[in-house]
Structure 1
Amino acid sequence: MKVEWSRWQDWAAVVIGAVVALSPIWVDTNSAARWSMIVLGVLVAVTGLANLASPGTEMVVWAMGVLGVLMFISPWVTSFSHLTGAAWTSWVGGVLTAVVAMAALPDSSPMHIGHRGGLAAH
């Protein structure tokens, strides 16, 4: 039995994604920083919502982790590491997203679904 809309990791991803996506409102950005933060933030929030709606989807958790890594490296890849506020938002958001994805991975494993972290009987 799947417990939907209750995992803290997925709610954390939604919040992290929303904060990163909205952060160009209060941090200095250029065009590359703004779009990188908006797109990656929205995608992280969407993966969190997808995991909330269907917590057994292990591939979505992996996608969240990849998005966290992309968010972390985006200041260097899109050349906005000199914009301190935008860069730090991406670095911290990326690390937090990757950590949340790693924390969600055991709960998304088919062996753990519906067992609150215990192994399923075979």
Structure 2
Amino acid sequence: MVKPWTRWQDWAEVVLGVVALLSPIWLSVSTAATWTMVVLGVLIAIDGLWSLAAPGTVASEWIQIVLGVLLFISPWVMGYSALTGAAWTSWIIGVLTVIAGVAALPAANAAHQGLAGQH
């Protein structure tokens, strides 16, 4: 049984979300880039906290993967791919978020199975 607040993947998701959220402070960004990075950063961090608090919630890992993909494609979709710093930050954090979500899936599934066996 996985204890809450212990999975490194979920802590990584929280950190990645906070970095995305705060990165417009030190990057040259447009309004679209700022809002995209702030909103997705907040959602990634909140979902990471949710995963930490409830490690058996498999859906939160899938949500994390979707949020990572959205952050990765956002420079093209939101039109800030020419802003090198903001675009690369979105691409790197997006990929790392997907990797962390995929890495957490087996542990989340195992924790979920453990919860199902306790009923």
What TM-score do the two structures reach when normalised by structure 1?
0.90
User: CA contact under 8 A between 2:58 and 2:112: conserved in structure 1?
Assistant: no
Q: Which residue of 1 aligns with 2:6?
A: 6
Give how far 1:91 is off.
Answer: 0.2
Give how far 1:113 is off.
Answer: 1.5
Give how far 1:114 is off.
Answer: 8.0
Instruction: Flag the 1:83–1:53 CA change in 2: closer, same or farther, 3 A.
Output: same
Q: Which runs of 5+ in 1 are unaligned?
A: none
Aligned positions, number: 114
What TM-score do the two structures reach when normalised by structure 2?
0.92
Q: Which runs of 5+ in 2 are unaligned?
A: none
Q: CA RMSD in A?
A: 1.5
Higher relative contact order (CA 8 A, sep 6+): 2
Alignment of 1:22-41 (within 5 A): 22-41=22-41
Partners of 2:54 and 2:24 in 1: how far apart? 30
Q: Deviations over 1:83-111 (max 9, x none)?
A: 000000000000000000000000111xx
Partners of 1:113 and 1:63 in 2: how far apart? 17
Instruction: Flag the 1:113–1:80 CA change in 2: closer, same or farther, 3 A.
Output: same
User: 3-state SS of the aligned residue for 1:113?
Assistant: helix
Partners of 2:45 and 2:2 in 1: how far apart? 21
More helix by share: 2
User: 3-state SS of the aligned residue for 1:76?
Assistant: helix
Whether 2:89 is the aligned partner of 1:98: answer no
The letter of the residue matching 1:18 is V
User: CA contact under 8 A between 1:2 and 1:114: conserved in structure 2?
Assistant: no
Partners of 1:68 and 1:83 in 2: how far apart? 19
User: 3-state SS of the aligned residue for 1:34?
Assistant: helix
Partners of 1:114 and 1:88 in 2: how far apart? 35
Q: Which residue of 2 aligns with 1:74?
A: 74
User: CA contact under 8 A between 2:56 and 2:112: conserved in structure 1?
Assistant: no
Partners of 2:112 and 2:83 in 1: how far apart? 44
